[in-house]
Amino acid sequence: MNVIIRDDPEAMAKRIRAILKLKDTKVNVGLLPSAGGRLHFILAVQSHGSPVMHIPARPVVRPALAQEEVRAAMAGDMLEAVKTAWEGKDPHAALQAAGQDGADGIRQYIDSGVLQPNSPVTVSGGWIFNRVARKGVYIPGKGFNKPLVDSGALYSAFNYEIEE
């Protein structure tokens, strides 16, 4: 089978440039490097857990992005980016939509309540024994049982960036 494409050479060159630009573009979703070291530490502790701090493992980013509805939304946006590039136009808006769908998917995963609940001490406060410091430590309670949401800093830090 032979395929013959009859197109304006200038339009074809524009299309090829757009597709090559899309090929070298990445959409990073999650906790970006600009979020700072403190939030990355908190996410690492929450993702892997800490027996010393009595924190169970609560992985968020990978399970959230692995959900079928989030994957389908992001795939639809990426398909739109490819179609836009094929037309010789800038696919930046579709890539932004894919990144936003991913970041929103992470926040929805946290809101869905599938994570392990906080311990009673975290919710209502009380004394615990800190094995590292070898002394009792008073923990002020959060007052509510919503894992990964305290000040909202980590929750709102999930974002996306387009890397070209």
What is the Cα–Cα distance from 139 to 123, expressed in whole angstroms? 9
Give the pair of three-digit tokens for residue 91: 């696919």
SS (H, E, C) the chain: CCCCCCCCHHHHHHHHHHHHHHHCCEEEEEECHHHCHHHHHHHHHHHHCECCCCECCCCCHHHHHCCHHHHHHHHHHHHHHHHHHHCCCCCHHHHHHHHHHHHHHHHHHHHCCCCCCCCHHHHHCEEEEECCCCEEEEECCCCCCCCCCCCCHHHHHEEEEEEC
* pLDDT (0 to 100) of residue 57: 85
- Global confidence as pTM: 0.76
First-residue to last-residue Cα distance in the chain? 36
Q: How far apart are CA 137 and CA 56, in angstroms?
A: 19
Residues 6+ away with beta carbon under 8 Å from 76: none
Q: Please tell me the predicted confidence (pLDDT) of residue 5.
A: 64
Domain assignments of the chain as residue spans, ordered by start:
17-118+149-163
Residue with tokens 């919503």: 146
Which pLDDT score is estimated for 7?
Answer: 67
The total number of residues shown for the chain amounts to 164
Q: Which residue has the tokens 């050479």?
A: 9
Whether 158 contacts 103, CB under 8 Å: yes
Tens digit of each residue's pLDDT, the chain (164 residues): 676 666 677 777 888 888 888 888 899 999 999 888 999 998 998 889 887 777 788 888 999 999 999 999 999 999 999 888 888 788 899 999 999 999 999 999 988 877 667 767 777 777 877 777 788 888 787 776 666 666 678 888 999 999 98
